[in-house]
Structure 1
């Protein structure tokens, strides 16, 4: 009987540790499309993390990705991203156009674009999304310019990445 209990604990404890541990990661893909002279951005955040953040920042209940979602959610998203996601292209701070968002299971994907970029020589990314409330948050940035690929892993202590071509 003792062997069965020990065996059960050895099997279930590792499984519980995986289910109890929460990962705080976002993924951002940035691509410069030269033919369109635009920088196209897809940024994915976990819905529960951005919901917690917006609810705390705004002292409200957003109910993201539900039938009772707050009506002005796109404005809230845009304002949050404008404050926490910044791009400097060729030494000039650029504002992005918020194209929209879509919910995909437990992730919200934001679609952003910066137009009229004739040439991309340098790209600086500052991404502080979710850093205020999630100490272990990591923001992964993948950049594609022509055949060149670069990945940055941003944290609260290192929130910027710089690409020079």
Structure 2
């Protein structure tokens, strides 16, 4: 017959496991992209903020690239694959036509990588509508949410894009 002391010793690890499973922090899967029209440059300037560890995992799973982002051992081909990934998952259209953009580079800010893109030579007065499709990381994380803020002249529009609803549209 089991004594109360033995039962307590056996149940303690189980109780701790249950407690920790409910108190552990849930990971957020989110990116934030700002698209701002610069009248001085006649361009849409785009910054996309993504968690470094999520992008690192994506590059490994999708392309087999051990990027080791934001470390002294960062892969020399990391930027090339980040750009390749963006081109397949981030699309801007003006009046229903895909618009080319330049991938300008990236920098790190704590646990986030900030990617810089630009759509040059934009004649805003000639554009009626704009759509933004952002599927960044939705192929890897079901819970991924991509927040997109678009600012032009005195207007601002924001979208939360997910795997099932990955495109936001607005009239300019």
Give me the TM-score of the superposition, normalised by structure 1: 0.87
1:27-42 alignment, distance < 5 Å: 27-42=32-47
Instruction: List gaps (5 residues or longer) in structure 1.
Output: 1-8
Match of 1:80 among 85, 92, 99: 85
Query: Matched residues in 2 for 1:70 and 1:46: separation?
Result: 17
Residues 25-70 of structure 1: CA distance to partner in whole angstroms, max 9, x if unpaired? 1000001112321011000100000110110011231111101111
1:150 aligned residue: 157
Distance 1:90 1:35, change over 3 A: farther
1:93 aligned residue: 98
Larger Rg computed on CA atoms:
2
Q: Which runs of 4+ in 1 moved over 6 A?
A: none
Deviates more, 1:143-152 or 1:54-63: 54-63
1:5 aligned residue: none
Counterpart of 1:77 in 2: which secondary structure?
A: helix
- TM-align CA RMSD: 1.8
Query: Matched residues in 1 for 2:81 and 2:117: separation?
Result: 15
Instruction: List gaps (5 residues or longer) in structure 2.
Output: 1-14
2:133 aligned residue: 126
Matched, 1:107 2:109: no
Contact 1:47 1:107 in 2 (8 A): yes
Counterpart of 1:35 in 2: which secondary structure?
A: coil
Contact 1:34 1:118 in 2 (8 A): no
Give me the TM-score of the superposition, normalised by structure 2: 0.84
Shift of 1:131: 0.6
Query: Matched residues in 2 for 1:160 and 1:60: separation?
Result: 28
Shift of 1:90: 2.8
